[in-house]
Structure 1
């Protein structure tokens, strides 16, 4: 039952065992990882083009996206304010101007990559049966490099274990997301383990879409990608609005992106006190995305 999960998860573990102190090598790995994400998302678009009844499948993707996004967001935002109530954080009382438009534009590039792959697959008359195999091998390489990035993120196990706010926020996101995922699975009448796997993306749209697409096909992959991308875009709006009054809610809703993409917004609007919390919660969720998603994939029928 777990052989498929171990086979996919192994590159991540191997990568995590590699420690690199050379900054230039780490920069190179970061560039390669970013490029591999673009490549595999383009292949996702090609996979969508190879689907029979494409129009009907796109409707299913939009339906899954809407149901999961509403259920997950509602579950997260219903519980996160309790963390602010019982574990309050002091933030800076200054509000600064943010380049939100440029950050949102960066996210939209990924949608364009998937769309370009879809258009290319529809426009050019060539066989697309090789796409799934190519995506699988590139996924293994991507997970290997992600493992290296996580190992060399500069965050020690001691720092994680001693940050109470970060751990509590991550736990709340995980628990509430599982509830939201189970509810979405019930509404859509799909296997509950598929619903829990879909709920385990925690905002990491590229990896979530790739893993779900590899496990259940491009319909699930496309929906998972859109769900988590929507989370990030909404987080960019919510963080400046709530970071001063409900910092745990703002940081928590950002999910795994709190340690990277949305971190500049958190730091600029919430101050330096919020940075360690965001990094720890984002790091924990980032590590658990492939672990939990692949675990539920292995259980799904």
Structure 2
């Protein structure tokens, strides 16, 4: 019953965001609010992490979990899409634009890590009476999903347009299955991790703010931090390697960003692959943004 309620809390705001009439100004406001909300969520995650007893003794395990999970989830998705690009090549005219957006995006990722550190410091010195309430994360999760729904609706993208991009659908399916295989591999390597937990951790697909909340709620702050840093590493990796991979393997380059291909890494994708690759990235990113929360909640519900 609890898993059904959690799934409802994730999907209902998304459907509401799709259902309500959205003006361009409203979509712009939602997008700006979402960027600030992510900073709040990351700071709150840092606060919760500071409340974990004996965290210092677990830092080595956390680092090991993050390293292995990142290699498996990023690696399986990348290898699968590299194979797909070789098996079924897709070429676009490379009219990449020179700019400094790549450097700015890296700085943005560093700011997100700093938010977690700031939250950790705040939580360490904050009196227990002033700690955020237990349901704060749930409320922020619902608001996050609502703003994402509004943003997707306001982008003017229709489900029909997404599904008509055949290659976008193909790489979404290949990417999802491959990364889930990486999650199963992670569970096989660590006895304390069930196969459903491995699948749940892998299902963040780069959506660090959402995966951190869902995994913290399901498995505790330690595993929430593992999910957070795993997905942040995907973002770092994508920003660094999309320009290198794009020329010969455009599908793999788009897939590197995971859920962020729809927003955060989209400028780098456009600069590296030109305007012709943008519809592919939008189709892929849209599907992954819908699939990710559903898979995370479903897998986490089974422990």
Give the TM-score band, short-chain normalised: over 0.9
Q: Choose 129-138 or 76-85, whichever is displaced more.
A: 129-138
- Partner of residue 148, structure 2: 146
- The Cα shift of 1:131 comes to 4.2
- The Cα shift of 1:129 comes to 5.8
- Partner of residue 258, structure 1: 261
Gapped regions of structure 1 (runs ≥ 5): none
Partner SS state of residue 135, structure 2: helix
Partner SS state of residue 273, structure 1: helix
- RMSD between aligned residues: 1.8
CA distance in structure 1 between the partners assigned to 2:20 and 2:283 by the alignment = 19
Residue 270 in structure 1 maps to residue 256 in structure 2:
no
- The Cα shift of 1:134 comes to 1.6
Q: Matched residue pairs, number?
A: 300
CA distance in structure 2 between the partners assigned to 1:23 and 1:246 by the alignment = 34
Residue 67 in structure 1 maps to residue 68 in structure 2:
yes
Counterpart of 1:102 (choices 101, 104, 108) is: 104
Q: Choose 45-54 or 95-104, whichever is displaced more.
A: 95-104
Residue 137 in structure 1 maps to residue 156 in structure 2:
no
- The Cα shift of 1:258 comes to 1.2
CA distance in structure 2 between the partners assigned to 1:60 and 1:128 by the alignment = 30
CA distance in structure 1 between the partners assigned to 2:112 and 2:203 by the alignment = 20
Q: Choose 71-80 or 273-282, whichever is displaced more.
A: 71-80
- The Cα shift of 1:89 comes to 1.8
**Residues 31/67 of structure 1: CA separation in 2 closer, same or farther (3 Å cut):** same
- Partner of residue 78, structure 1: 79
Retained in 1: the 8 A contact 2:168–2:284? yes
- Partner of residue 283, structure 1: 286
Residue 238 in structure 1 maps to residue 241 in structure 2:
yes
- Partner of residue 173, structure 2: 171
CA distance in structure 2 between the partners assigned to 1:222 and 1:181 by the alignment = 16
After TM superposition, the score normalised by the length of structure 2 is 0.93
- The Cα shift of 1:53 comes to 0.2
- Partner of residue 205, structure 1: 208
Retained in 1: the 8 A contact 2:22–2:150? no
- The Cα shift of 1:296 comes to 0.5
